[in-house]
Structures are given as structure tokens and as C-alpha cells.
Structure 1
Amino acid sequence: MSFHKYIFHYRFSGKSDKPLILFLHGFMGNIHEFDEAISLLTDEFYCLNIDLPGHGKTKILDDDCYKMPKIADALINLLNELQIERCFLIGYSMGGRLALYLTLKFPQRFHKIILESASPGLITDRERLERVKRDEQIARKLARSVEKDDFRKFLDNWYNQQIFGNIKNHPHFEQMIENRLQNNPKKLAKSLQLMGTGVQPSLWDKLKENKKPILLLVGENDSKFVEINRKMFAVNQLCKLKIIKKAAHNIHLENTFIFIENIRNFF
């Protein structure tokens, strides 16, 4: 499906007569991000996965298409083309930032929203500038990782970050890496430069006015995002916060059954 400059690659799972969940993956993910979780949900839900711009097999025509407001508009148009008037929404990390933007701009399109390890962006200009500089350095390294071995080394280094806890010890970590390797590093670099936390609109003020039920999921071993999500919980009474045991940033991989349980209970 396309919206002017977008040709989205997507996949449905489950039965079309069930309630629909739209899943938005994180940075360097693709439509396989939630495979294990979805396999446990298809008896109760119809699941839609989309490769976001710069990821997987989705095609775009110019750099402007990487920007969050443009992607959000294009996703709403895709839902229109698919004749999906309203649905549930789940976003992880980068996909969670996009899911929050969609919720605040198009609240009528979503029943309830789950944000996994997400944030409303950065508040001050100084924070955003510092983040943009850091992301530019990372993007340059990514863009140079054209050989598969170089990209694998980049990914190995990426998952040493504190927010990911002990994810490298997880039995499905290698499969996750294989999924990440299906992406194009140069396109990922563009995504980071044009849709990263430093360049996205800050959503903190708009979050205060949110009128939709939102469940915030964050792993107990991801201290940075525990703090961010506690602040999110404090600014809007329709936000619920769950801190998940035995998980860091990637809850749906590290504690899949608890992730599923929260989806069932909330949706």
C-alpha cells in the first residue's frame, strides 16, 4: 500500500473477525519484531505488523518520508486504505514514540494504547541538540557498516548499552540479531538522523492533555526508562504504569508471557 511517497510492507496475522492490534517495531526492527508475542495472541486478536520507513521492505521516495509527522500521516492513510476505522495500538521504543504521536494527533483512531519502553521525547533545546550530535555519530558508523560482518559488530556493540540489561544472554538473542541484519544500515542511519529522539517533536505538553487509556510498560532493569515512564505516569491520569520484572528495554523478548498477559488484561 502507498501514500504518495510510501510503499508500506506489512503483514496480517490471525483471524480478521477478531479485534485488531497495530504493532510498531523499534529502531533496527522489522515486521518480525513481535513474532513470538503475536503467535500467542492470534486466537484472540487480529495483528497488523508494518515495516517502518528505513526498515525491512518498506520503500520511500525521499528523505522527508523519514520524519515522524509524515510517517504518522502516512500510517493513518494506510489504515484508511485497509478500511480500519479504529484499532488497538502497541509501540516499542522508537515505535512507541511514534505510537504516542499517533495517539495524541489521531486519538479517534485508537481504542487503547500500550507503549513499551517509550518516551515523549526530550524537553529542552539543549537536550535535543546534544542527542542530535550523538545520533549523528552513531548514524555515520551505521552508514559505514555496509558489510554484514561490520553490521554484526555494530549490533553487538549496540546491545552492550545499559538499557538493554542482560539481553545478550537471552536464548533468542541470536534470532533477534538475524532479524536486525535483514535491514539496510544506510537506511537505518537515515531513520536515526531524521526520526531520532533529538529531532522528534517533544510530546510532554500534549501528553498532559491526553484523553486515551495508555498502558506504560517498562522493564525493572532499564533504570533510564523507568524514570521517564514514572514522569509520564505523573503528568496524565489516563496513563497506567507497569514495571516488568526480569526485563530491561526489550520486554516483549525478555519476558514474553508477562508482556502478553498485560496485553490481554488491558485490551
Structure 2
Amino acid sequence: MHTIETNGQTIELNHIRVYYETYNWEKKRPVLVLLHGFLSSSFSYRRLIPLLANDFSVITVDLPPFGNSEKSTTFRYTYRNLAQLVIDLLQHLHIPTCTLVGHSMGGQICLYIARMQPQLVREMILLASSGYLGRVKRSLTLSTYLPYFHAYVKHYFYKQGVEANLRQAIYDYSLIDNEMCKGYEQPFYHPQMFKALTRFIRYREGDLQAHELQRIETRTLLLWGENDRIVPVDIGKRLHEDLTNSALVTFPHTGHLLPEERPHDVYREITDFIR
């Protein structure tokens, strides 16, 4: 096993500061770009990164406003804009082609990148990717313009609690410990987080629909937990039908947080797929 060399940096792209980390960075090695899900961060890949870094140069990106990236109150948080930030980062790093790995919402960002810049994406690995969601209802969009809507969002988040959300996402509750709870909760202590999250709710467009997915030719591996209650495996089966160059692998007794629940299995499937 190689020593894992980590380098965390912040870069300004399109007037917003984006935090990313590189692991065992060598340009001659294949590049994997890891994108996390909604209300998450690169922390969700903590168990998978040490495995992947043995074989690849790994980049993790905290998609704004999550993780250590800026919680801007002027940026338009659309999937297209977030995808463009990743594209701009890869261009800044002079990476001509890479493999995208996306969990949940991060999978949808991967799909947007593949639609926008197909030549940049060698292949995709989508871990319980979100799919086929429309925009939020117009009434909720209008509500985000209320002066204290962000306070309601904050109240709702803390009322639910991180552990309750993790229990919804994970099949085996014994995996939930203090380290996990603190890691997922920490970014939400930032004073601007819920104002930024309000803008995310306001501007997020819908997921790519079937006719758009069917135009994506990128070779794609879909990995899914059979007990996923956040994004059910039926979504994976539907994506498999619409993504014409895709394969689907499912895991029993597994929920939504595949990088946390099945890191060794996910690592094996990724390396076999790429090789």
C-alpha cells in the first residue's frame, strides 16, 4: 500500500471559492474525481479514498455550498453551474480526461458534466445517483424569498438531526458513531450555510430526463444498495435502461451511503470496471 499524500486547496472559480483535495497526485496515473451528495461533503468518501489512492490520482471536490467550499449568498446553485465549476477546476489543473465518481446528487452532477463536456469524461461510476427529480414546487421556490426562510430551513435541519438522517440513509445502524455524526454535521455550523442552502433550493433545476440521458454515450457503472430508502434501486434500473452504455451492480443489505457501507466492494467494482 502506498503512502497517501493529501493536499487540500481552495480556488476561486466563477466568483466562488471551491475547496478540493488531491491524493497521491501523479499526472501519469489515471485521475478519479469524486463528487459527493446533497447535505454531504468529501467526508463521505473517507473510507474509499485510501483504497482508490493506491491505484489512481484522486481529487475530491466539496460542491458549494457544502463542506469547506464557500457558502455564497450570490452564487446561483444550479446543477449546470456546479458542473461547470468542476469542469473549470479540471481545466485549471490541466486534466484532459478523467473518470467521474458521483454519489447521490454528485451522480447527477456527473451526468451534467458528461452532457456538457463528453470529451472530458472517460467513464463514470454513479453510486446511488439521484435521478428523474423535477424542480421543487413553485410555492416552495417563492417561499425562499421570504426574509427569514433560511431560519425555517435551519430549524427543520436541526429538528431532524444528523443521526436521524444517517439512520434513514444507512442499512446497518452500528456503523453510525460520533466521528461520522460530527463529520456530516460540522459544515452546517457555518453562519451563512442556511442562507446559501435557501438559494440552492430556489435555483436547483430538475435532474436530466430520459431523452437527455439517452444521448449520453459515456461508459457508465451504476452501483446501488438494494435497501436504499433515499434513492431506491428502481431508479438505478431506470437509469440503466436510459444510459445505453451502462452496467448495474447491486448490493444486498446495503443502504444509500455506499462509500461508507461498502468501501471495499465499491473499490473492487471501480477498479475492475476501469481495467
| Same structural fold, with TM-score higher than 0.5 when normalized by the shorter chain | yes
- Give the number of equivalent residue pairs: 255
Asked whether the 8 Å contact 1:139–1:193 carries over to 2, the reply is no
1:182 corresponds to which residue? 186
Asked whether the 8 Å contact 2:153–2:198 carries over to 1, the reply is no
Please say if 1:256 is aligned against 2:267: no
Asked whether the 8 Å contact 1:111–1:212 carries over to 2, the reply is yes
Asked whether the 8 Å contact 1:92–1:117 carries over to 2, the reply is yes
2:7 corresponds to which residue? none
Please say if 1:159 is aligned against 2:166: yes
2:55 corresponds to which residue? 44
Unmatched segments (≥5 aa) in structure 2: 1-10
Please say if 1:100 is aligned against 2:100: no
In 2: Cα distance, 1:252 partner to 1:227 partner: 20
Detail structure 1 runs of 4+ shifted over 3 Å in the superposition: 60-65, 130-133, 138-142, 150-153, 188-193, 195-199
In 2: Cα distance, 1:139 partner to 1:177 partner: 22
Identity of aligned residues (%): 21
**Which of 222, 227, 230 is matched with 1:221 structurally?**
227
* Cα distance, 1:96 vs structure 2: 1.2
Over 3 Å counting, the alpha-carbon distance change for 1:192 and 1:213 in structure 2 is farther
Map residues 13-92 of structure 1 onto 2, 5 A cutoff: 13-16=23-26, 17-59=28-70, 61-92=72-103
* Cα distance, 1:28 vs structure 2: 2.2
1:242 corresponds to which residue? 249
* Cα distance, 1:188 vs structure 2: 5.4
In 1: Cα distance, 2:163 partner to 2:185 partner: 11
Q: Secondary structure at the match of 1:33?
A: helix
Map residues 89-168 of structure 1 onto 2, 5 A cutoff: 89-122=100-133, 128-129=136-137, 141-144=152-155, 151=158, 154-161=161-168, 164-168=169-173
Asked whether the 8 Å contact 1:216–1:229 carries over to 2, the reply is yes
Q: 1:44-80, CA deviations, whole angstroms, 9 ceiling, x for partnerless residues?
A: 1010011110112212544433221111112211111
Instruction: Report the residue type matching 1:248 in the other structure.
Output: G
Q: Secondary structure at the match of 1:229?
A: helix
In 2: Cα distance, 1:182 partner to 1:193 partner: 20
TM-align CA RMSD: 2.9
In 2: Cα distance, 1:236 partner to 1:204 partner: 9
In 1: Cα distance, 2:67 partner to 2:261 partner: 22
* Cα distance, 1:207 vs structure 2: 0.5
Instruction: Report the residue type matching 2:15 in the other structure.
Output: K
2:212 corresponds to which residue? 206
Q: Secondary structure at the match of 2:161?
A: helix
Asked whether the 8 Å contact 2:21–2:59 carries over to 1, the reply is yes
Instruction: Report the residue type matching 1:100 in the other structure.
Output: L
Asked whether the 8 Å contact 2:29–2:56 carries over to 1, the reply is yes
Q: Greater shift after overlay, 200-209 or 80-89?
A: 200-209
Instruction: Report the residue type matching 2:263 in the other structure.
Output: T
Structure 1 length normalisation: TM-score?
Answer: 0.83
Q: Secondary structure at the match of 2:223?
A: strand
In 2: Cα distance, 1:67 partner to 1:36 partner: 28
Q: Secondary structure at the match of 1:70?
A: helix
* Cα distance, 1:249 vs structure 2: 0.6
Asked whether the 8 Å contact 2:73–2:195 carries over to 1, the reply is no
Over 3 Å counting, the alpha-carbon distance change for 1:212 and 1:71 in structure 2 is same
Instruction: Report the residue type matching 1:55 in the other structure.
Output: F
* Cα distance, 1:194 vs structure 2: 2.2
Asked whether the 8 Å contact 1:132–1:199 carries over to 2, the reply is no
Unmatched segments (≥5 aa) in structure 1: none
Instruction: Report the residue type matching 1:202 in the other structure.
Output: L
Over 3 Å counting, the alpha-carbon distance change for 1:93 and 1:196 in structure 2 is farther
